[in-house]
A and B are shown apart, each in its own frame.
Chain A
Amino acid sequence: MNINLTMFAQALSFAILIWFTARFVWPPLIKAVEDRQKTIADGLAAGERGKHELEISAKRSAESLREAKQQASEIIAQAEKRATAIIEEAKENAKAEGERILVGAKAELDQEVFRTKESLRQQVADLVVSGAEKILRREIDAKAHADILSAVSSQL
């Protein structure tokens, strides 16, 4: 139970063990643990960043999809409008053309009628003249009554 030299010898071995632990055991161990903690923290941060970036790009892709849809519908609307316009224009053109053709046909018809009338008139005049000639050949001189005949034919 006495305090003796043992205490100092024991204290010396304690000092040696403290030195050994502080010099060789603790620093590499704490360094390894802290390095690993840093690695894990970095990995977690990178994962978080990746997640964030994914969210952003998902948002961006949805945005551009929406834009593309909008553009497409605009284009379709424009195309429809254009198609309607073309159809309208074609209709207009067709109507105008039809009118034009109609007018031309009418004019031709009128001309034809006129020409027919003219020839008919001529034929009637000729017929009348020839009839009158036949009648008058016996009674009157054709030369003497030519002015009357022409006045008649002009009234036809």
Chain B
Amino acid sequence: MSTEQLTPAEYIGHHLSFNAQSVGDTGFWVLHMDTLVVSLLLGIVVFGFLGWVVRGVTAGVPNKRQAFVELLMEFVDGQVKTIFHGNRHAFVAPLALTVFVWVLFMNAMDFLPIDVMAKLVYEGVFGLHKWRAVPTSDINATFALALSVWVLMIFFSIKVKGLGGWIHELFCAPFGSNPLVWPANFAFNLIEYISKPLSHALRLFGNMYAGEIIFLLLGMWAATGLVGTFFGALLGAGWAIFHILIVILQAFIFMMLTVVYISMAHESH
């Protein structure tokens, strides 16, 4: 195995390096090709599938494909219905579906065996030395989603309450409209507006990143000898099974928080 020629630090570092392409002078003008290509490819495949199913959709007796997609839709719609009170079909429910499905599949890339894929597919087929397959373990991806939701949140706040209403709410909620508590209100809202995207993005990132690290650590243990191989495989299997739950749960939590934030933006105080 290639790991035998690597130190543990090199092994982990290798697996945690992005396929970065510089498109400018400074450190900001960098694109993580692995994150972008994998997420976009998943988006095209998954949403292409949804679009293909919806093209042949019928109000009569649905075939199994359509029934499955409808099941997914009903699940998301049911969750949105309990939280968001308004015309959810125009935007919020499709947004929730997009978030859930996309994040689910990006998370699910973690199911691919990391060393096998790196050795055989990314390096063997495509000749890519550095390739991270899980977009949601890239903080850029999770912040992209969380900040998009954040922007939508502010957009809907202003759209529903008007710019004046939104600013009024920044200063007059949650403690009241007394001028004495304006600073407290504003500080409170500021913290809320900062902490929402941070926790939203970092929760998903942390879970997926930690999951990847544990797979790497178990992989390293597996390379230390017979006992290590046995326990590495055993614990790796256990962690992989547990990870199925995490993948789905984190996608679900990300969707629920998205819906909660957007519907909070629709409510005025």
A residues with a Cβ closer than 8 A to B are 1-11, 13-18, 20-22, 24-33, 35-36, 39
Contact = CB atoms under 8 A, between A and B. Distances in A.
Contact of B69 (A8, A9, A18, A29): A29
Interface residues of B, number: 47
A10 B47 contact: no
A78 B60 CA distance: 63
Contacts of A16: 43
Contacts, number: 124
Contacts of B73: 26, 29-30, 33
Interface of B: 23-24, 27-32, 35-36, 39-40, 43, 47, 50-51, 54, 57-60, 62, 66, 69-70, 73-74, 77, 89-91, 93-95, 97-98, 102, 135, 138-141, 143-145, 147-148
Contact of A11 (B30, B98, B138, B144): B144
A3 B118 CA distance: 24
Nearest to A35: B59
A5 to B, nearest CB: 6
Q: Is the interface of A mostly helix, strand, loop or mixed?
A: helix
A30 B24 CA distance: 45
B144 to A, nearest CB: 4
A26 B94 contact: yes
A5 B28 contact: yes
Contacts of A6: 30-32, 35-36, 138, 140-141, 144
Nearest to B151: A11
A141 B193 CA distance: 181
A7 B30 contact: no
